[in-house]
Structure 1
Amino acid sequence: MTTVFLYILSNPERSGIFIGTTSDLSYAMWQHSTGIFFPHTRKYRFVHLIYLECFSSIATADSRRRALRFMRLEEKWKKISSSNPGLHELISIGS
């Protein structure tokens, strides 16, 4: 069974967020840190992992990602802050 991750990245100022899903978290974080496949990540510096959820299927993770994407920004920040009150980086992936 594959674990699928829903992750939220932020910039150093915590003024914006990026929501994504992957089955290979370390590879996705490498992609974001280098900006090779995500040019907007390089531009806006979305390299700080501040939120993470695990799912057992891609369909469930994508459904959750879509639900989060359609939430208002302040609702997203409230959700993130409820599980990570200090908005600390969960793992370091570079800058």
Structure 2
Amino acid sequence: MKHSYTYILTNKYRTTFYIGVTANLSKRLIEHKEGKASKFTKKYNVTDLIYFEEFTDINQAISREKQLKNWHKEWKINLIKKLNPTLKTLDY
């Protein structure tokens, strides 16, 4: 079964957030770190994974990404802190 992911990245100061979706999270994280994935993440040095959700259907992951992108920043931070209270960089 193929998995998909909705994920949130941030910068080292935890002030800027990026929400994305992918079928291969580890590959996508490497692309972000190398500056090849997104102009936004490259410009603002947003490469630290602090939150992700796993789905079995890519359409669910895309829907969740769209939902989270419409949330207020405070709501996103509260969601992240439920699973990652210190906003530490996650290993994946």
TM-score, length basis structure 2: 0.94
Identity %: 36
Q: Secondary structure at the match of 1:21?
A: strand
Equivalent residue for 2:73? 73
Shift of 1:20: 0.5
Moved more, 73-82 or 31-40: 31-40
RMSD of equivalent CA atoms:
1.1
Unaligned 5+ segments in structure 1 are none
Once the two structures are TM-superposed, the CA of residue 5 in structure 1 deviates from its matched residue by 0.9
The runs of at least 4 aligned residues of structure 1 exceeding 2 Å deviation read none
- Report the residue type matching 2:35 in the other structure: G
- The one-letter amino acid of 1:91's match is D
Partner of 2:60: 60
Please, what TM-score do these two structures have when normalized by structure 1? 0.92
What is the CA–CA distance in structure 1 between the aligned matches of 2:38 and 2:19, rounded to whole Å? Answer: 12
Superposed, 1:39-58 pairs within 5 Å as: 39-58=39-58
Structure 2 spans left out of the alignment, 5+ residues: none
Determine the structure 2 residue equivalent to 1:10.
10
Query: Aligned AA for 2:62?
Result: D
**Number of residue-to-residue matches in the alignment:** 92
Once the two structures are TM-superposed, the CA of residue 37 in structure 1 deviates from its matched residue by: 3.1
